[in-house]
Amino acid sequence: MAESFVIPCPHCDTLNRVPAARLGEGGKCGRCGGPLFTGRPITLDAGRFERHAAAGLPLLVDFWAAWCGPCRAMAPVFEAAARDMEPLARFAKVDTEAEQGLAARYGIQAIPTLVLFRSGREIARQSGALSGQQLRTWLRSRLEGYTKS
C-alpha cells in the first residue's frame, strides 16, 4: 500500500497529499478548505478528468447518458456505493453526450460502463447496470492490493 495518496479536491481540483494511514479520516483541501470526501460522485468534464484520473487514489467513473434507462436505474446504486465506499476510491460520473471526446477516447460503446482508473491507467472495466451488492463486490475485488478494504 502506498505511503500517501495525492487526492484532487472534488471542489477546486487542487492536489492534496494524504498519508495512507489517515485516509479514512477524510481531510480538508489545503486551498479551499472543502472536504476531500463528500460521499457523492463528482461530475467530470474533459478538463477535470485528467487531474482526477491521474491521481494515486483509484477513480471509478460511471460513463452514462440522461436518455439511458439502465443508467438512470443505476444512478442511485452508484450514489449509495460512493457513500459507503469512499475513501477506498473516488466516484465520478461522465455524461457521454456532453463529453463525447472522453467516451470515444476510452472506447465507450455501451452505457452504463464503469471504468476504474489508478495513476492515469485503466485497471478494470464493467459494462451494464449492476445491483448495489454486485457493484461493491466488483470494486472491492479490483481494489485488492491497492487500498485496504
- Does 35 sit behind a cis peptide bond, omega within 30 degrees of 0 on the bond before it? no
Round to whole Å and give the CA distance between 26 and 148: 15
Q: How large is the average pLDDT for residues 33-56? A: 95
| 3 state SS of 40 | coil
pLDDT for position 26: 83
Element (H, E) at 127: strand 121-127
Confidence (pLDDT) at 122: 97
Residue type, position 149, single letter? S
| Best CA proximity match to 54, nearest among 18, 7, 106, 21 | 7
Q: Which residues of 126-135 are buried (b: 16+ CB within 10 A; e: fewer)?
A: beebbeeeeb
On the question of pLDDT at 92 being above 80, the answer is yes
**Structure letter (DSSP) for residue 94:** E
Confidence of residue 2 (pLDDT cuts 50, 70, 90): low
Enumerate the domain spans of the chain.
Answer: 37-143
Distance CA 20, CA 73 (A): 34
pLDDT tens, 107-149? 999 999 999 999 999 999 999 999 999 999 999 999 986 544 3
What's the fold here for domain 37-143?
A: Glutaredoxin (3.40.30)
pLDDT at 1 over 70: no
Note the pLDDT of residue 23: 85
pLDDT at position 20: 86
pLDDT at residue number 148: 42
**Side-chain half-sphere of 131: how many Cα atoms within 13 Å?**
2
pLDDT score recorded for residue 21: 87
pLDDT (mean) for 82-105: 96
Q: Which residues are catalytic?
A: 68, 71
In tens, the pLDDT along 4-38 reads 889 999 999 999 999 988 888 888 999 999 999 99
